[in-house]
Amino acid sequence: MPKNKGKGGKNRKRGKNEADDEKRELVFKEDGQEYAQVLRMLGNGRCEATCIDGTKRLCHIRGKMHKKVWIAAGDIILVGLRDYQDDKADVILKYMPDEARLLKAYGELPENTRLNEGIAGGLDEEDEGAASGCGPRVRKLLCFAKFVNSMDDSTMRYV
């Protein structure tokens, strides 16, 4: 067998373009484009998203973004609308969470749009109804966290 003279495999090549950490310019929609929120990932480079105009569309992830930009349910994306198919669109760009917050602050996204803040944000008292849509483990964890926060020093000794 020939001797390996390379400097690594595909994982080394994959980590080459990790310079995406710096801030990029905020991209606004143009005509023929729309903001959307991902409902669910379907696989095969496709996702189902609700556009800001209220229509549900099947979105195709471009080859440029495929396996480079990871899209999850709840993400805000920019889609290009198709002239010939109204129920389908193409994903042009995925907004980072801070960019999505800026879009909402500028009034580009409606106020009722719920942005994915992740688990670190936690739930407020008014968001407890949203926890009912979670699984049983998450509900138990939220209930336990609420219990621990409500305890004082005298009851802490017995736990």
What is the domain partition of the chain in residue ranges? 30-117, 119-159
The span from the CA of 51 to the CA of 59, in Å, is 10
CATH superfamily, with its number, for domain 30-117 = Nucleic acid-binding proteins (2.40.50.140)
Q: What is the DSSP letter of 38?
A: E
Tell me what the mean pLDDT of segment 118-146 comes to. 56
Least confident residue range of 18-22, 44-48, 53-57, 120-124: 120-124
The span from the CA of 156 to the CA of 152, in Å, is 6
Instruction: Give the pLDDT confidence of 48-79 residue by residue, as tens digits.
Output: 999 999 999 999 998 888 888 999 999 999 99
Tell if the pTM clears 0.85, that is, is over it.
no
Residue percentage of the chain with pLDDT more than 90:
47
Instruction: Please name the helix (run of DSSP H) or strand (run of DSSP E) that holds residue 92, with its range, or none.
Output: strand 88-94
Instruction: Give the pLDDT confidence of 69-120 residue by residue, as tens digits.
Output: 999 999 999 999 999 999 999 999 999 999 999 999 999 999 888 886 543 3
End-to-end CA distance of the chain: 63
